[in-house]
Chain A
Amino acid sequence: MPVQPIKFYQSGSFVVGNRLLDPDQRSVQADPNRTNSLNSGHRACQGCGEALGARYALDAAMRATNNQLIAVNATGCLEVFSTPYPETSWQIPWLHSLFGNAPAVSTGVAAALKAKGRTDVRVVGQGGDGGTVDIGFACLSGMFERNDDVLYICYDNEAYMNTGVQRSGSTPPAATTMTTQAVGPEPGNRFGQGKNVPLIAMAHEIPYVATATVADLRDLEYKVRRAMEFRGARYLHVFVPCPLGWGTASCDTIRIARLAVHTGLFPVFEAEHGEVVDVTRIPRQVPVAEYLRPQRRYRHLFGASPRPDVVARIQQIADRNIRRFGLLAAEPAPTAQEAP
Chain B
Amino acid sequence: MVLRQIEGSRGVAEAVARCRPEVICAYPISPQTHIVEALSAQVKSGALAPCEFVTVESEFAAMSVAIGASATGARAYTATASQGLLYMVEAIYNASGLGLPIVMTVANRAIGAPINIWNDHSDSMSQRDSGWVQLYAETNQEAVDLHVQAFRLAEEVSLPVMVCMDGFVLTHAVERIDVPEQEQVDAFLPAYQPRQLLDPAEPVSIGAMVGPEAFTEVRYLAHARQMQALELIPRVAADFERVFGRSSGGLVRPYRTQDAETVVVALGSVLGTLKDTVDELRDQGHRIGVLGIISFRPFPLADVRAAVGQAARVVVLERALAVGIGGIVTSNVRMALSGNGTRDYTVIAGLGGRAITRASLREMLLAAEADRLEPLTFLDLNRPLVERELARAGERRMSGPAAENMLRDAGPATPWIG
Contact = CB atoms under 8 A, between A and B. Distances in A.
Interface of A: 67-70, 72-73, 79-80, 83-86, 88, 90-98, 100-101, 104-117, 121, 138-139, 141-142, 145-146, 148
Contact of B22 (A73, A84, A116, A139): A116
Interface stretch (B53-61, B265-273, B297-305): B53-61
A199 B203 CA distance: 34
A116 B211 CA distance: 35
Nearest to B68: A108
Given A93-B203, A104-B61, A116-B74, A109 B198 contact: yes
B209 A101 contact: no
Contacts of B204: 93-94
Contacts of A94: 198, 203-207
B200 A67 contact: yes
A95 B94 CA distance: 12
A138 B57 CA distance: 7
B72 A109 contact: yes
B156 interface: no
B76 interface: yes
Contacts of B233: none
B91 interface: yes
What's the interface size class on B, roughly? Answer: 35 or more
B359 interface: no
A104 B94 contact: no
Contacts of A101: 60-61, 64, 67, 90-91
A69 B200 contact: yes
A146 B209 contact: no
A105 B64 contact: yes
Contact of A145 (B57, B65, B74, B202): B57
B73 interface: yes
Given A93-B198, A115-B22, A108 B64 contact: yes
Contacts of A73: 207
13 contacts: A85-B211, A91-B203, A96-B205, A96-B208, A97-B68, A100-B90, A107-B61, A107-B64, A112-B70, A112-B73, A112-B74, A114-B52, A116-B50
Contacts of A86: 208, 214
Nearest to B55: A146
A112 B194 CA distance: 13
Given A96-B207, A108-B25, 15 more contacts: A83-B209, A85-B213, A88-B208, A90-B205, A93-B199, A94-B198, A108-B68, A109-B68, A109-B71, A112-B52, A112-B70, A112-B74, A115-B74, A116-B72, A146-B54
A149 to B, nearest CB: 11
B210 interface: yes
- The dominant DSSP class at the A interface is mixed
A72 B94 CA distance: 14
Nearest to A125: B68
B83 to A, nearest CB: 15
B207 A97 contact: yes
The listed residue with most B CB atoms (<10 A of its CB), out of A79, A93, A112, is A112
Contacts of B210: 85
A134 B296 CA distance: 37
Output the residue of A90, A95, A148 with the most chain B CB within 10 A.
A95
A263 B213 CA distance: 48
A100 B206 CA distance: 17
A111 B50 CA distance: 11
Nearest to A94: B205
A142 B56 contact: yes
Contacts of B94: 97-98
Given A109-B198, A146-B54, A146-B55, A100 B65 contact: no
Contact of B205 (A80, A88, A98): A88
Nearest to B60: A101
Contacts of A90: 203, 205
Contacts of B205: 83, 88, 90, 94-96
A30 to B, nearest CB: 23
A146 B55 CA distance: 8
A111 B208 contact: no
A97 B214 CA distance: 18
B73 A116 contact: yes
- Interface centre among A79, A92, A100, A107, by most chain B C-beta atoms within 10 angstroms, is A107
A104 B203 contact: no
Contacts of A80: 209
Nearest to A69: B200
Contacts of A106: 68
Contact of A113 (B67, B72, B208): B72
Given A115-B22, A116-B74, A139 B64 contact: yes
B179 interface: no
A95 B206 contact: yes
A142 B57 contact: yes
| Most chain B beta-carbon neighbours within 10 Å: one of A100, A109, A113 | A109
